[in-house]
Structure 1
Amino acid sequence: MKKMMNIIMLSCKKATELIEKRWVTKLSPVEKIQLKMHTAVCGQCATYEKQSEIIEKSLEKINKQENVPMKLSSEKKEQILEALKKTK
């Protein structure tokens, strides 16, 4: 039973990862259930989820108003990778 609960219940770290992941890709059915269960019992993560939604919707609204691309160009990605290599 304990092993099953560990599979079902997420840590706050994993819950926040899933909250952010869902803005990029679809969550699996298991991930959706895990996240829903976690936020039902964890007020801090539920608040984080609401804040994340507000931020995401605000960014989408700004993007629509200013027509700013939300994805990085290949050139920008390469620049970031080069900068990261220099910091190692």
Structure 2
Amino acid sequence: MIFRRVLSALTFSCKRITEITEKEQVNTLSSIDKFRYELHLFMCKLCRSYVKQSQIIEKALGNMFGTSDNDSKRLDDSARKNILEQLKKEN
């Protein structure tokens, strides 16, 4: 019981990990929060898998819409708008 309280104080929840990942906030975290993020990923296989899948999807979308950049891990705003426009056209 005490271990769980200590652990929850040291790390983020799975929900928070997905929020940070999807909102692209990893690079803006403080050192302590970055540690909490990495600690959670170290301990949680499901979140590690989620982050990897998110990165693969971002890369695939970048390649598909001609916005891939080896230095960039995420799509920029114009690429996202382009994707949304393409999706709206198909519906």
**Given the two structures, how large is their TM-score scaled by the length of structure 2?**
0.58
Q: Which runs of 5+ in 2 are unaligned?
A: 68-77, 86-91
Q: 1:25 to 1:45 in 2, by over 3 A?
A: closer
Say what the alpha-carbon RMSD is for the aligned residues.
2.9
Any idea what SS the aligned residue of 1:54 has?
helix
Which protein shows a greater Rg?
Answer: 1
Give the match for residue 61 of structure 1.
Answer: 63
Spell out structure 1 runs of 4+ moving beyond 4 A: 1-5
User: Normalising to structure 1: TM-score of the pair?
Assistant: 0.60
Gaps of 5+ in 1: 77-88
Partner residue in 2 for 1:46? 48
Deviations 1:21-69 (A, max 9, x none): 22x673313332221100100011011111111001111111217xxx4
State the number of aligned residues.
Answer: 70
